[in-house]
Structure 1
Amino acid sequence: MTTTAATSRRRLPTGTVTFLFTDVEGSTRLVQAAADRWPALLEAHDRLLREAITGSGGVVVKTEGDGFFAAFGSAVAAVAAATAIQRALIAHHWPEGFAPKVRIGVHTGLGLLGGDDYVGIDVHRAARITAAAHGGQVVLSEPTVALVERDLPDGVALRDLGRHRLKDLSQAESIYQLDIDGLETEFPELRTLDAVPNNLPLQVTSFVGRRAESARVRELLETSRVVTVTGTGGTGKTRLALQVGAEIGGRFRDGVFFVDLAPVHDADLVPSQVLRALGDSSSPGNRTPRDALLERIAEREVLLILDNFEQVIAAAPVVADLVAASPRSRFLVTSRGPLRIAAEHELPLEPMLLPDAPDPASLEGSDAVALFIDRAVAVRPDFRVTDDNAAAVSELVRGLDGLPLAIELVASRVRLLPVPEILARLDYASPGTGAVDLPERQRTIEGAIAWSHDLLDAPVQALFARLGVFAGGADLEQIEAVCGDVGVDILSGLAELVDQGLLRQVAAPGGRARFRTLHVIREVALVKLEASGTSTEVHRRHLEAYVAWADELVPHFMGEDRKVWLDRFDVDHDNVRTALDWAAVHGETDLALRLAASSWRFWQSRGHLQEGKSRLQTVVSLAGGEPASRAAALEALGGVYWWQGEIDRCVAPYREALAIQRELGDPAAIANAIYNAAIGEAVAANRTGDPDEGPPPDVVKGEVYALFDEGEAIYRRLGDENGLGNIVWGRGIAVSDLDDDVQRALDLFHESIDHYRRAGNEFGMGWGMFEVAIFSARLDDIDTSSDYLVQGLELFARHHDVSAIVLFLALASALANLSADEERGARLAGAARGLRNASGTNIVDHEITRIRGLALDELDPSRLDLQPLYREGMSMGLEEAVAYALGRDVSDVPGL
């Protein structure tokens, strides 16, 4: 829906409020017939309705398509508005054949606000009353009639239409019609459940959200004989099916019938259960129930809802027979998995839509939040989403994965605690207890999951428990490594879990098969894993699997396809975190060192430097571990310090790593450690020296250059172009910092690019380009600097290397300022600062200040005229900032 400008919370009435809904009958047909004339027709319709509503003192809360939702502080005013709308529509001159027929429903109830919208049962009731009406008709609820019957507009009378069950499946309501002099007063029977035979059970709560899903089910039933709604326990399959049945049941001549299969465990009993739901005897004399059912339904036109089919899946052929026997009927099935019959169209029901951001405005469009608010208001009428609790509400529904049952269970706690306290205390494996009149399986998440879990064989139950160790899902390769000995074929076991709604197949980079459980289901799986006595063994296998996996990915983090490999790591980052956490607590030092060392380039490239520092500091503080593993982790820690601009701190781990590698004796490892140690010593010496005392002592320079000489000699013997690129790049930094030889440094950076290009190291090439751009600017060659800036930024944008992009944006800002384009410089400075703050990339201070006299990504506080532009830059996302720096649209930047 579109929220209008008139819906500020201050203007919406509260307390006793009268709600008015409108809808154009047959609007789809009208739109198609009107074609290009429809916009003008809709504009006239909207103007007439808005004038009538506001002219009667109402507030337009929302519009959706041709429908209006308005609120009034007075029931009399609402009835006056409804009367005015119908009279205005009749009086208006419409093109022949194109006069819209508008149905209107009016209901008075409690006006509860959730954010800037109304929530609660009375809003839903008003909408359902409207849905029962016909075009040109105005219908009112009994509470509204009680307030207006002695104060009706002139020429208006009330007509009692009797009691009707609305399409919200609640108890019967008394409905009245407004008879307006001069307008049509005779209409067909109301579109309510009473219009057709049905046995749909009453529901004590309103149907919230799922508008798209409901529409999709209705659409599928137009063309498919069998629609099976599948999904995890607690996703709301039954409630959706009932709502669809209530809304379209009137289309079926012989009615809509609900068959509850929850109590049935024997597939042979399904025909008897269906006969009972249809109102027939389940003991049909000498015929079998199956034969009697097929005969009974053959000539009928019904919508049959078969609920909880998963535990009687062997009865799927019965449904196939029903399809063949009753060609005019439709069958709506809910199940954890599909029936796998020819006529079936499966519709997986995903968890509810989650909010994009934690602010109140962003929560408004989320079905998950709407459900939480509705159920919270039911137990605490004064509940509101405010600036103080919006973030907690967002985090809560996200932590519950948008699972409706979990949300409803947690919402019941609002009666006792504010949302932030609920969030702090929440156990995701046991989020709450539902109402006592719910089925046992729906009173807790454990109950909903147990309903599926208990249908599984023991080996598949063991597989389910083991899958709990995976955070955020896993590829088939990792699942086989961790769960391969549970006594069942892994693919078959996964298929069973998917069919029971306990596991989901999700998209993964590269089109690989990937599976994940919802967060709340994973928590239950972990509880079962702990109870099995195999938790330690399974967690260690998970750790080993991801150590081996990370070792496989690391060699690809520098090459042409590095984005592909970084993306793969990103997908499993939560698994790496989980494995490192477990390793640190359980003393698995060597595996922890190896995994953290393999992860650091990902942390650096994708803006997780603060996390990387924390994790590497933790693992190097652990006792034990192989010397080679410790050296690798120390080099990684030194690298993180470097990128965070803590140059002084990188020297000690680099020195220790070099000492270890010399003892181990691997030439390539020694040369790499030499490169790190030499560059760390060079830059740290320059940063700690007093500028007034001249360059650092010759002894420091001698040690640094001796290290570079030694490393170069090793790499030349090995024929290692990448290593030579590192050495040459490092020399460039050293001659700049220790000798202030800008031209020599520039020549070395050009040379490093050649080495990196021959080695296929795009990461190194990009950094060579960055330094060429920096040092060209220092020599006042702005054209060359700009050319290399573009080349390097394009390269790293394609890699989605966040840390690199931060530096290039800061450089772009500096070059804009050198070119006297202060506005562009301010925006780019803000963009660099925003992404720098998010990623922790503080090496930018050291690198860009090589261009003397430029204030990098800070802004002169006195330049108030540039402050808005700086803030504008800070609000840019990565893609937008890169495109702006390159002067292009986002769609024109490869990789974005």
Structure 2
Amino acid sequence: MTTTAATSRRRLPTGTVTFLFTDVEGSTRLVEAAGERWPTLLAEHDALVREAITGSGGTVVKTEGDGFFAAFASAIDAVTAAVAAQRGIAGHDWPEGLAPKVRMGLHTGLGLLGGDDYIGLDVHRAARIMAAAHGGQVVLSASTAALVEHELPVDVVLHDLGRHHLRDLSQAEGIFQLDITGLDARFPALRSLEAVPNNLPAQVTHFVGRRRERARVRELLESSHVVTVTGTGGTGKTRLALQVGSEVGGQFRDGVFFVDLAPVDDPEVVPSQILRALGEDSSPGNRPPRDALLERMGDLEVLLILDNFEQLIPAAPIVADLVSVAPRSRFLVTSRGPLRIAAEQEMPLEPMDLPDRRDVSRATDTDAVALFVDRAMAVRPDFTVTPENAAAVSELVRGLDGLPLAIELVASRVRLLPVPEILARLDPARPGTGTIDLPERQRTIEGAIEWSHDLLDPPVQDLFARLGVFAGGADLEQIERVCDDIDVDLLGGLAELVDQGLLRQVAAPGGRARFRTLHVIREVALLKLEASGTGEAVHRRHLEAYVAWAEEVAAHVLGEDRSAWLDRFDADHDNVRTALDWAAVHGETDLALRLAAASWRFWQSRGHLHEGRSRLETVVSLPGGEPLNRARALEALGGVYWWQGEIERCVPPYREALAIQRELGEPAEIANAIYNVAIGQAVAAVTTGITDEVRTEVYALYDEGEKIFRSLGDENGLGNITWGRGLAVSDLDDDVQQSLELFHRSIDHYRAAGNEFGMGWGMFEVAIFSARLGDIATAWDYLEEGLELFAPHRDVSAVVLFLSLAAALAQAADDEERAARLAGAVRGLRNSSGAKIVDHEITRIRGLSIEEIDPSRDDLEPLYRAGMAMDLAQAVEYALGRPVPTDGG
């Protein structure tokens, strides 16, 4: 910072002083956007902040760039200055899209002077408090809050944000927010250490050693956009990256995220995996995931840990593109080799430090022995290095080349054998240990795995090999389906593999038992599977297992437990991908058709529409296959087209599916295919043209479908027919009142069937058609009830439509600001989910549309952008706050 020329030691207050720090959030992007206008904008900002400070009796101590450091003898004067500055900034006439968002922090403490500047911890505390805030937010310490709480202006309220640990400060600080009437009071969580967003997996063992390596990675991350930790399998690359991520995550505004690439073989899936790790509700719908990822990353400051990149080197250009669009982010990659992109700094990870044979008395000072002891104590708490076993321990870790994974595997043997006997039975450097064409250290790892493997009974060895087919782990249920023909007690075999360190039990949604292997161990398992000659048969069993599983899940994803079933599918999405890829390559057309058809509701509900479309188009193009399986996949493909807003495109696959069903299908399937064609044809006619021929065909189809469903007593099918007929009556005959009655009846049918998904869509239509008839209150009632059905399941495609309706109803209540925020949320979530059906005429209230909102207006543009930044939960919470109409309507 530069000291203000007019500031002198005599003028700076001393004793109890309140410090104010300010900073423009996102100033780098603002500078780029403003271009030549930036100096003028900065001068206007500086004048507003300086006037507020000096006008309230404060002194500007320093300025740096767009930040101010000021001191006040009175705490209430400092608060008054902050309020005045925020009001001045909010009320200033800024150029479109260039309004600065200023964060402010206040703290009262001891004003110690050192020359013409303040020194001491309280200055640093004030700066850290400001750094935890967001643009437009004013936060203050508990000490400042205690001094001003009874003197605040009537239009300013203190809001307790709780205690937070701030970077570089050892003690937690109580933080309060100033809620200023007329200004935004809703902000994301403070950027405290507790609030650092992350998805880092919990570690069940201690991190041992690697101090130099950790320091080196942290140092490289400060100067390089991409740091790739390279080394052979088992050197501890992943564990090191996770440890560094936990240590430096607080330095990244938007957090640290771990991207597990071990289950992925297709470079095209990498963007989807990154989006998922970032906490997105979905893949980006009908846009390429890469495009959506680049757009999302442009606003973030994160540390991304990309783990196990070696099998995905063709995806390296994606990382290079991310560096370009997200210059404030950093990328920590683990791989057996470098990515070879310009922004990359490679850091080879060597094995752990080894003890000196000449001085075994200091063996425990080395990382390799410390790790061995830690892991040995986990299975035998009384284990220690003694003068009697020190030489054996030293020789053992030396023989394991100091490779962490090998050390951990062998340490588990301490439960059964003393170290000298372990050493006598394991000579990993001996020729023939591991595959001879592997690098020496990789041979050591395979040797350690082989040794653990050789201790297994043959049936458990078979179990180990079969587990290699699972990508990203598997629930016990799927493992049983793939391995039920092995002559082994499955639970006992799994327990033995866990004990040997070859398998890990991990947390799963719903508390189910789930298991996975480390990437390097899975590779060994797959090699053994292929060597056994049973690889193709086991892969087919894996495919069959996930077909049966997906069809079971599909039967539940429309009911009241939708969220739990969708979460289960999400956990095994990598296995579904692997199975579909294998099926396509090996000509398993029927199984591919069944698996893709069973998966489509997951792809739609969680927004993977782009991927779903690609996979369904692939499977329906495969040669052969049973016609009925093809019909179900065609119906799924038509459904994806529908949700992507390409209604005309969905009709041909629907018609082909109906033709197959009429020839071969059961009555319920025929009726469902009839419903699909009827609704697709009716809605497509809205844009292609309504004719008597279309009207006659659509109503004849609905009559036929209704007759079949009534004969079957199928309430869900009757709900579909009634709902679809409601759309037809509106679109083909413009009879809104009859449509409304039909939608009410559809809800009754869906409720009788236990179909929450259908109930929600009936409520959506009742809300729309009530609004069309001017009954806004009823529209709000049904909107809220339907939204509360869909939101808990994170059904982003559905929520987008409800938010669009909420925006239109806010517009009807003349609440333009609320409508603008909601319209922004719709646009942002539509882009991330691909649910372009929200743009179709059938989802709109005629004469009332959010398209009437002008997001470029100076007063609405910031609100629209704020809405675009909302995540799903924030947007739903905001939408459920019903506005009060200004006209009493």
One-letter code of the match for 1:842? K
Render the CA deviation track for 1:338-395: whole Å, top value 9, x for unaligned.
Answer: xxxxxxxxxxxxxxxxxxxxxxxxxxxxxxxxxxxxxxxxxxxxxxxxxxxxxxxxxx
> Which residue of structure 1 aligns with residue 748 of structure 2?
754
Q: Answer whether contact 1:441 1:451 (CA < 8 A) is retained.
A: no
Give 3-state SS (helix, strand or coil) of 1:114's partner.
helix
> Which residue of structure 2 aligns with residue 819 of structure 1?
813
Render the CA deviation track for 1:81-119: whole Å, top value 9, x for unaligned.
Answer: xxxxxxxxxxxxxxxxxxxxxxxxxxxx99995344899
Q: Answer whether contact 1:721 1:755 (CA < 8 A) is retained.
A: yes
- In 1, the alpha carbon distance for the partners of 2:544 and 2:353 equals 43
Give 3-state SS (helix, strand or coil) of 2:717's partner.
helix
Give 3-state SS (helix, strand or coil) of 1:843's partner.
helix
One-letter code of the match for 2:653? P
> Which residue of structure 1 aligns with residue 717 of structure 2?
723
Distance change in 2, residues 1:510/1:849 (3 Å): closer
Distance change in 2, residues 1:210/1:761 (3 Å): closer
One-letter code of the match for 2:643? W
- In 2, the alpha carbon distance for the partners of 1:208 and 1:647 equals 46
Asked if residue 880 in structure 1 is aligned to residue 874 in structure 2, the reply is yes
Give 3-state SS (helix, strand or coil) of 2:555's partner.
helix
Q: Deviation at 1:590?
A: 0.7
Give 3-state SS (helix, strand or coil) of 1:505's partner.
strand
Q: Deviation at 1:671?
A: 0.9
> Which residue of structure 1 aligns with residue 634 of structure 2?
634
- In 2, the alpha carbon distance for the partners of 1:53 and 1:829 equals 41
Distance change in 2, residues 1:240/1:799 (3 Å): farther
Distance change in 2, residues 1:279/1:788 (3 Å): closer
TM-score, normalised to structure 1, is 0.54
One-letter code of the match for 1:662? R
- In 2, the alpha carbon distance for the partners of 1:786 and 1:317 equals 68
Give 3-state SS (helix, strand or coil) of 1:63's partner.
coil
Matches within 5 A, 1:792-831: 792-831=786-825
Of residues 246, 266, 275, the one that matches 2:387 is 275
> Which residue of structure 1 aligns with residue 733 of structure 2?
739
Distance change in 2, residues 1:800/1:111 (3 Å): closer
Q: Deviation at 1:584?
A: 1.0
> Which residue of structure 2 aligns with residue 477 of structure 1?
477
Distance change in 2, residues 1:240/1:808 (3 Å): farther
- In 2, the alpha carbon distance for the partners of 1:240 and 1:210 equals 18
> Which residue of structure 2 aligns with residue 844 of structure 1?
838
> Which residue of structure 2 aligns with residue 553 of structure 1?
553
One-letter code of the match for 2:510? G
> Which residue of structure 2 aligns with residue 860 of structure 1?
854
Q: Deviation at 1:512?
A: 1.4
- In 2, the alpha carbon distance for the partners of 1:110 and 1:791 equals 54
> Which residue of structure 1 aligns with residue 672 of structure 2?
672
Distance change in 2, residues 1:503/1:207 (3 Å): closer
Render the CA deviation track for 1:183-227: whole Å, top value 9, x for unaligned.
Answer: xxxxxxxxxxxxxxxxxxxxxxx999859999xxxxxxxxxxxxx
- In 2, the alpha carbon distance for the partners of 1:657 and 1:281 equals 68
Q: Deviation at 1:848?
A: 6.0
Q: Deviation at 1:546?
A: 0.8
- In 2, the alpha carbon distance for the partners of 1:111 and 1:665 equals 61
Q: Answer whether contact 2:363 2:369 (CA < 8 A) is retained.
A: no
> Which residue of structure 1 aligns with residue 697 of structure 2?
703
Render the CA deviation track for 1:782-834: whole Å, top value 9, x for unaligned.
Answer: 11111110000001112221111111111111111121111111111111111
- In 2, the alpha carbon distance for the partners of 1:628 and 1:548 equals 16
Q: What percentage of residue pairs aligned between the two structures are identical?
A: 65
Q: Answer whether contact 1:42 1:66 (CA < 8 A) is retained.
A: no
How many residues of Structure 1 are paired with residues of Structure 2 in the alignment?
Answer: 553
Asked if residue 63 in structure 1 is aligned to residue 168 in structure 2, the reply is yes
> Which residue of structure 1 aligns with residue 773 of structure 2?
779
- In 1, the alpha carbon distance for the partners of 2:619 and 2:760 equals 30
Give 3-state SS (helix, strand or coil) of 1:501's partner.
coil
Of residues 759, 784, 787, the one that matches 1:765 is 759
Distance change in 2, residues 1:686/1:456 (3 Å): same
Render the CA deviation track for 1:490-544: whole Å, top value 9, x for unaligned.
Answer: 2222112212322211112222111112344334433332333222111110010
- In 2, the alpha carbon distance for the partners of 1:623 and 1:666 equals 24
Q: Answer whether contact 1:261 1:308 (CA < 8 A) is retained.
A: no
Distance change in 2, residues 1:662/1:45 (3 Å): farther
TM-score, normalised to structure 2, is 0.55
Q: Deviation at 1:654?
A: 0.9
- In 2, the alpha carbon distance for the partners of 1:281 and 1:240 equals 14
Q: Deviation at 1:735?
A: 0.9
Q: Deviation at 1:65?
A: 1.6
Give 3-state SS (helix, strand or coil) of 2:774's partner.
coil
Render the CA deviation track for 1:613-642: whole Å, top value 9, x for unaligned.
Answer: 111111111111112111111111111111
Identify the structure with bigger relative contact order (alpha carbons < 8 Å, sequence gap 6+).
2
Render the CA deviation track for 1:229-270: whole Å, top value 9, x for unaligned.
Answer: xxx9x9x9996999xxxxxx9999xxx9969799x9xx9xx9
- In 2, the alpha carbon distance for the partners of 1:280 and 1:481 equals 44
Distance change in 2, residues 1:501/1:859 (3 Å): farther
Distance change in 2, residues 1:640/1:315 (3 Å): closer
- In 1, the alpha carbon distance for the partners of 2:647 and 2:123 equals 70
Matches within 5 A, 1:46-445: 63-65=168-170, 113-116=219-222, 210=243, 274-277=386-389, 308=407, 311=410, 316=415, 441=441
Q: Answer whether contact 1:645 1:844 (CA < 8 A) is retained.
A: yes
Q: Deviation at 1:777?
A: 1.2
- In 1, the alpha carbon distance for the partners of 2:720 and 2:123 equals 75
Distance change in 2, residues 1:544/1:811 (3 Å): same
- In 2, the alpha carbon distance for the partners of 1:447 and 1:5 equals 59
Distance change in 2, residues 1:317/1:815 (3 Å): same
> Which residue of structure 1 aligns with residue 508 of structure 2?
508
- In 1, the alpha carbon distance for the partners of 2:393 and 2:566 equals 64
- In 2, the alpha carbon distance for the partners of 1:240 and 1:573 equals 40
- In 2, the alpha carbon distance for the partners of 1:52 and 1:803 equals 48
Q: Answer whether contact 1:769 1:788 (CA < 8 A) is retained.
A: yes
- In 2, the alpha carbon distance for the partners of 1:571 and 1:836 equals 24
> Which residue of structure 2 aligns with residue 187 of structure 1?
none
Q: Answer whether contact 2:634 2:653 (CA < 8 A) is retained.
A: yes
- In 2, the alpha carbon distance for the partners of 1:591 and 1:111 equals 46
Give 3-state SS (helix, strand or coil) of 1:556's partner.
coil
Distance change in 2, residues 1:240/1:702 (3 Å): farther
Distance change in 2, residues 1:315/1:727 (3 Å): closer
> Which residue of structure 2 aligns with residue 618 of structure 1?
618
> Which residue of structure 2 aligns with residue 15 of structure 1?
none
Give 3-state SS (helix, strand or coil) of 2:387's partner.
helix
One-letter code of the match for 2:756? E
> Which residue of structure 1 aligns with residue 576 of structure 2?
576
In structure 1, runs of 5+ residues without a counterpart are 11-38, 55-59, 68-108, 120-205, 215-231, 243-248, 283-304, 321-332, 335-428, 435-439, 690-695, 889-896
Q: Answer whether contact 1:639 1:650 (CA < 8 A) is retained.
A: yes
Distance change in 2, residues 1:838/1:444 (3 Å): farther
Render the CA deviation track for 1:141-177: whole Å, top value 9, x for unaligned.
Answer: xxxxxxxxxxxxxxxxxxxxxxxxxxxxxxxxxxxxx
Give 3-state SS (helix, strand or coil) of 2:798's partner.
helix
- In 1, the alpha carbon distance for the partners of 2:488 and 2:763 equals 54
One-letter code of the match for 1:65? S
Q: Answer whether contact 2:409 2:449 (CA < 8 A) is retained.
A: no
Moved more, 521-530 or 629-638: 521-530
One-letter code of the match for 1:760? G
One-letter code of the match for 1:615? R
| Larger Rg over CA atoms | 1
In structure 2, runs of 5+ residues without a counterpart are 1-20, 29-106, 126-130, 132-165, 173-214, 226-238, 248-307, 309-334, 336-348, 356-361, 395-403, 424-433, 883-889
Of residues 859, 864, 870, the one that matches 2:864 is 870
Render the CA deviation track for 1:28-51: whole Å, top value 9, x for unaligned.
Answer: xxxxxxxxxxx9999999986569
